[in-house]
Amino acid sequence: MQLEQIHNTDLEVIENKEYENAFKNHALFTKYKNKEVIALNKQYFDISFDYLSKFHLNYEIIYLDNVSYETLYNKFLEHRTDKEMTKVQQEQENSSFIDEEFNVSEFLKVGSDILTTQDSAPIIKFVNSLFYQAIKKNASDIHIEMHEYKAEVRYRIDGVLTKHLELDKNIMALVISRIKVISNLDISEKRVPQDGRTQIKLAKENLDIRVSILPTFYGERVVMRILMQSENIVALKDLGFNAELTNNLENLARNAYGMILVTGPTGSGKSTTLHSLLRQIVSNEKNIITIEDPVEYKSNDISQIQVNSKVGLTFETGLRSILRQDPDIIMLGEIRDSASAKMSIQAALTGHLLFSTLHTNRAPAAITRLIDMGVEKFLISSSLLAVLAQRLVRKLCTCKEIDTSLQSYKAFDINKNTTIYKAVGCNNCNHTGYQGRVAIAELFTLNDDIKEYLKSDVDDNILMQKAIENNMIPLDKQLKDMITEGKTSVAEAIRIGIK
Ligand SMILES: [Zn+2]
């Protein structure tokens, strides 16, 4: 059968009772020759005829060629996005956790100077609003995930993912295309992971965004990390550590050479602490070079290198090149293998102050980790100055309630006469029960006593014991104090995962 295909790219969306459902089945309501008709395209015949046969819609059917069909289809998508946008905006206006000065028209004004071209396009507005809302809510990351039937946007706030909104998958696909455009990524490539960066201007502030796209079974998954400018880095004394520890840390950072390590799981604030430290010691007389993955804070005062494994620029090769650049202070994003461990120790022994991170739960465990990586104990003794193990703990919102559960008392061996609290959730805290985070840390300094012990067979438990004898306040003790002072909950302390 030869079909008569119509070419017409000026067709418009017709909104009626059935149009949404029809659209999902590739049957598009439109007006043709002054009649309401259903437009189909032969690529989707199996879906659309299956649908039409079930519903017996009394409309004339026309067949569009591919170009005309795609054009009309995109108009439907835009139409729906507009509706979704209005819905999102209404929700935003109704929700009390957004402070009063925020209103949508204001946002659209600010939003329009953010990015390039066609500021009226709803997708652009929508993507801008994602960033805007993320900043408003103090989110560090924006996650876009495709599920089987829907797509979802989540924000990471205070270290925890929180649902922001759900969208139609087709619309989200347009959103992802838009994100690719602004990050200079290949729009047509949907089968391989892509990484990019973009910069947006929001309310007079420039934001750097790192974009990572990964193909998954149900579609592409996008994670956008909002990077901070180093001017916005919190000062060391404001990170939340106790005054004595801050003081000790500052003194350690004044050493001319040696190694200082920061440990803790991903998202425990290690790079923030390292950058606060670097900021503290920046001076014209010092050559500071970092190699990071990613460069999380951009600074004008230090030379920062981004790891790029595609061109062979790894922590190890980067460090080797840095050493030829006559540095005073080096920050290596992470020690992840024997080679980078040995090279770092070497750098620390030859007149450089080196900062890095290591994946261990507790501070004293860094010693055994380095030994496992093949570093000689006498080299650790003579180069390692200290290890800081840290965590970010969410603070209870004022909506907290008294926790009477016996299990909570048991978990941290808390005296029964002490009042402790649990999270509840209110509008102020986005219904999480928590507001803000505070950093806690244990600082393990290698004094003569520890160095002497390193000559014998090293055991993690004995190291911990010796560290406590030498005035290290262990993380679990600090967490327990936070619970009994009503600052955080047992559930949060457990989530932190010290025990
Ligand atoms: Zn609350």
CA of 425 to the centre of ligand 1 (A): 4
CA of 102 to the centre of ligand 1 (A): 20
Phi, psi of 7 (to 5 degrees): -110, 115
CA of 423 to the centre of ligand 1 (A): 8
Q: Which residue has the tokens 């120790």?
A: 345
Please state the pTM of the whole predicted model: 0.67
Closest CA to 219 of 157, 177, 160: 177
| pLDDT value for 351 | 93
CA of 203 to the centre of ligand 1 (A): 27
Closest CA to 494 of 405, 416, 419, 418: 405
CA of 32 to the centre of ligand 1 (A): 55
Give the span between the Cα atoms of 424 and 394, in whole angstroms: 13
CA of 414 to the centre of ligand 1 (A): 24
CA of 426 to the centre of ligand 1 (A): 4
155 exposure class (CB count in 10 Å sphere: 0-12, 13-18, 19+) = buried
195 exposure class (CB count in 10 Å sphere: 0-12, 13-18, 19+) = middle
CA of 266 to the centre of ligand 1 (A): 26
CA of 10 to the centre of ligand 1 (A): 52
Q: Are 426 and 399 in contact (CB under 8 A)?
A: yes
| pLDDT value for 20 | 84
CA of 487 to the centre of ligand 1 (A): 13
Q: Mean pLDDT by 10-residue block, N- to C-terminus, for the chain (499 residues)? A: 82 88 90 92 88 84 91 82 62 41 38 37 77 85 92 90 85 86 86 87 75 92 84 83 94 95 91 91 88 83 87 90 93 94 95 95 96 96 97 95 94 94 92 92 96 94 95 95 97 85
CA of 246 to the centre of ligand 1 (A): 30
Q: Are 305 and 234 in contact (CB under 8 A)?
A: no
As given in the structure block, the two tokens for residue 106 are 């204001």
